[in-house]
Amino acid sequence: MSQDIPQKPKYFLISDAVGSLVNDIFQSVSVQFPTVDFDVTNYPFIQHDDMLLPILKQAKIEQAGIVASFINKDLNQIAEDYCEMAGIFYLNVLDQLMDQIVHQTNVKPSGKPGIRHQLDDEYYKRIEALEFAVNNDDGQQPKRFIDADIVLLGISRTSKTPLSMYLANMGYKVANLPLVPESRIPDIIYEIERSKIIGLTNDVNVLNKFRRERMRSYGIEDASLYTNDARIEKELAYANKLYEELNCPVINVADRSIEETATLIIMFFNSTKSQEIQ
Amino acid sequence: MSQDIPQKPKYFLISDAVGSLVNDIFQSVSVQFPTVDFDVTNYPFIQHDDMLLPILKQAKIEQAGIVASFINKDLNQIAEDYCEMAGIFYLNVLDQLMDQIVHQTNVKPSGKPGIRHQLDDEYYKRIEALEFAVNNDDGQQPKRFIDADIVLLGISRTSKTPLSMYLANMGYKVANLPLVPESRIPDIIYEIERSKIIGLTNDVNVLNKFRRERMRSYGIEDASLYTNDARIEKELAYANKLYEELNCPVINVADRSIEETATLIIMFFNSTKSQEIQ
C-alpha cells in the first residue's frame, strides 16, 4: 500500500531543555528506516505554553507527529491533550520510566527541566577534562601523563584525538601519544600506572585508505612513504611490540565508531578501578 | 509509606550497541528524584541471547528493573517475555516510536544495532571537525578561520574550548580566538563571513570565581591582576566593543551549560544558513 505512505513523514521534536535526548532517540529509530525520508524540525527550550501552543497548531496543520522530552508536567499535559484532540501522534520519551519510578518510590519528580546539564561539580570537572585533553593531545606534555585518567597510545590514524575529546566530554582526563618508530618513547610511559594505558591499533587497509584521504585533503596525491603498506606494517609492529611490553589492553578501531571504542575504554577503566577497590 | 521504598531502586541498562541513549534517558529521569539513590549497572554491546539470559536471571534475583534500547527484535522479545514472567519492570525506550513509524509507513525496520554510530561520511566529517577544533583552539592559526564553520570569540573563561569540542563532536568545524585587550585582533576576523562569528560573554562575578579557582588549581592563591573585577570589566568592555563592531550574536554563558550554549549557537548558525538559502 505504498500510496498510503506519506512522502515525507513529518516530526516535530520538542524539549523544554536542549533536546539532545529527543534528537538521539529519533535518530536511533529513524536510521532503522533507510528508505524513508523524514522531515524533522527541532524545537529546543520550549518552557512556556505561549511558546508551545503555536508549535502544536503548526503540527496540526502539517499533520506532524510530536516526539517530546518534557520534564514539565503541565507542558506535557497540554501537548498530550492537544495532540489527542488534533489526532496526531504524541510521545513523551521520559514518561514511562518517570511513572515507574514514581510508582516504585512514592517520590514526586522535581519538575525542573535541564538539570541533567546543570552547572555542578561534575560540569566543572568536564570543562577541566576537555581543557586537559586539548592541552595533552598529540603527546604535547608527556610529564602531565601522570595527571591523566587515561593515556591513549597509537600510530597515526587510530582515532587518538577524537577519542580523547569524546572521553573528555564525559569527564575523563585523557592524554594521547602518537607512536612513531623513529621517535623515542618518553620515559614517563614506563613510570605511570599501567592500568591507565590503552593501546590503539587499526587494520593496514583501513590505515592506508585513511592516510591517502588525509594526504589528498592536504593536496598531496602521491604520498608513498606515509601510505605505503610496508611502512604501515612496520609502524603497527612497532606499536604492538610496545603494547606487549606494557601489557596494556589493545583495541582495534578498524570497524568501531568513536562511541563504541570509547565505551570499551571505559569498560577497561572501570574494571581496573573495581579491581583496585577489591 | 517510606518502608515501602526500596533503599536503592536497582536498574539494569541494557543495549545491543553503545548504550548512550539508555544512559541519557535514565539520567534525565533519575535527576528528577534527587532524594532517591539509584543502583545502576550498564550492559552495553549485548547482541546475543547467550549474553542476555544471564543478565536477565541476575535482574530477577536482584529484582532490578530493566531499561533497554534493543534494535534487535528477537532480543527485545526475549527480554520482554522474561521480565513479564519474572515480574520485573521492562522498558524498551525505542519501541513506541518504532511502532508508530512502522504503522505510518508500512516499512520494516532494518534491525541492525549501532548504525546510529556507523562509519559513514558523517562520521569522517566529525573526526575531521574534532581535529580541526583541536588544531584551532586558542587562536593557534587565525589563517584557518576561513575554513571554519563557526568562530567563537571570548575573553578568558567564557567556555571557548569546551564549546568548540562539543560542537566539533557534532560535526562543526570550530575555531576560537581568545580576546585580550593587549593583543591585536587578527585582520582575518574582519575578512571572514560575519555570519559565522559568535561572541561569548560572561558575568563579572562568575568570571571572578572561575578565574580564582583556576589560579588555585595552579597553586596561586593571590592572582590579583587576573581576577580583579576592574580588570575583568575592562576585558568585557573590550570584547563587547568588538562584538558591536562585528555586529555578531552575543551569548552570555553565565547560567548556561555547554549543551545549552551549543544549542543556541547551532540555532544562530541554522538561521543564518536558511537566510542565505532564501
Contact state of A45 with B263 under an 8 Å Cβ cutoff: yes
pLDDT at B278: 38
- State residue B255's pLDDT score: 84
Mean pLDDT, 10 residues at a time, chain B of 278 residues: 64 91 91 92 91 96 96 94 96 94 90 71 83 91 93 93 92 95 92 94 84 72 66 92 95 90 90 57
Domains contained in chain B, CATH given = 10-105 (3.40.50), 121-276 (3.40.50)
Can you tell me whether residue A66 is helix, strand or coil?
strand
φ/ψ of residue B257, rounded to 5:
-80, 170
Own/partner pairs for A256-259, CB < 8 Å, 24+ apart?
A257/B18, A257/B114, A257/B117, A257/B118, A257/B119, A257/B123, A258/A159, A258/A162, A258/A163, A258/A166, A258/B117, A258/B123, A258/B126, A258/B127, A259/A166, A259/B18, A259/B20, A259/B117
Whether residue B155 is annotated as binding a ligand: the answer is yes
Pairing of strands A197-201, B39-43: unpaired
Give the Å distances, CA to CA, from B136 to A157, B11, B172, B249, B250.
19, 42, 12, 21, 21
Could you tell me the end-to-end alpha-carbon distance of chain B, in angstroms, rounded to an integer?
A: 60
Choose the closest CB to A25 out of B94, B105, B107.
B94
Select from B1, B29, B51 the residue whose CB has the most chain A CBs within 10 Å, as the one to mutate to test that interface.
Answer: B29
> How far apart are the C-alpha atoms of A26 and A12, rounded to whole Å?
10
Strands of A70-125, DSSP E: 90-92
List, for residues A248-261, the tens digit of each pLDDT value. Answer: 999 999 988 888 99
For A34-47, what is each residue's pLDDT tens digit?
899 999 999 988 98
Give yes or no for a contact between A13 and A43, defined as CB atoms under 8 angstroms apart.
Answer: yes
Higher pLDDT, B86 or A121: B86
Asked if B169 lies within 8 A of A165 by C-beta distance, the reply is yes
The Cα–Cα gap between B147 and B192 comes to: 9
ipTM at complex level: 0.76
Q: How far is A139 from chain B (nearest CA, A)?
A: 13
Which are the contacts of B171, defined by CB distance < 8 A and separation ≥ 6? B122, B125, B126, B129
pLDDT at A13 over 60: yes
CB A70 within 8 Å of CB A16 = yes
Q: How far apart are CA A240 and CA A204, in angstroms?
A: 13
When pLDDT is averaged across residues A228-243 and rounded to a whole number, the result is 91
Least confident of A24-33, A122-131, A237-246, B233-242: A122-131
What integer pLDDT is reported at residue A277 of this predicted model? 43
Do A69 and B28 lie within an 8 Å CB cutoff? yes
3-class DSSP string for chain B: CHHHCCCCCEEEEECCCCCHHHHHHHHHHHCCCCCCCCEEEEECCCCCHHHHHHHHHHHHHHCCEEEECCCCHHHHHHHHHHHHHHCCCEEECCHHHHHHHHHHHCCCCCCCCCHHHCCCHHHHHHHHHHHHHHHCHHHCCHHHHHHCCEEEEECCCCCHHHHHHHHHHCCCCEEEEECCCCCCCCCHHHHCCHHHEEEEECCHHHHHHHHHHHHHHCCCCCCHHHHCHHHHHHHHHHHHHHHHHHCCCEEECCCCCHHHHHHHHHHHHHHHHHHHHC
d(CA A101, CA B34): 12
CB distance A71–B117 less than 8 Å? no
Q: What span, in angstroms and rounded, lies between the C-alpha atoms of B211 and B223? A: 9
For residue A206, pLDDT over 90 is answered with: no
Residue with cell 577544533: B133
Measure B180 CA to nearest chain A CA, in Å.
19
Which residues lie below 8 Å from residue B96, measured CB to CB, with a gap of 6+? Answer: A91
Q: How confident is the model at residue A228 (pLDDT cuts 50, 70, 90)?
A: confident
What confidence score (pLDDT) does residue B42 get? 92
pLDDT at A239 over 50: yes
How does residue A270 score in pLDDT terms, banded at 50, 70 and 90? Answer: confident
pLDDT at residue A57 is higher than 90: yes
Give the whole-angstrom CA distance, residue B271 versus residue B267. Answer: 6
Query: Do residues B144 and B189 lie in contact, with contact meaning Cβ atoms separated by under 8 Å?
Result: no
Q: Which residue has the higher pLDDT, A201 or B219?
A: A201
Place of cell 593583543: B183
A33 alpha-carbon distance from chain centroid: 22
| pLDDT tens figures, A129-175 | 998 999 999 998 899 999 999 999 999 889 999 999 999 988 999 99
C-alpha A137/C-alpha A126 separation (Å) is 16
- Which of B104, B162, B217 is nearest residue A130 as measured by Cβ atoms? B162
Which residue in the block uniquely carries the three cell numbers 578561520?
B145
* A263 contacts B44? CB cut-off 8 A: yes
- Cβ-nearest to A162 among B130, B213, B217: B130
pLDDT at B125: 84
**pLDDT > 70 fraction of chain A, expressed in percent and rounded:** 89
H/E segment holding residue A178: strand A174-178
Whole-number pLDDT of residue A274? 58
Residue A256 near residue A206, CB atoms below 8 Å: no
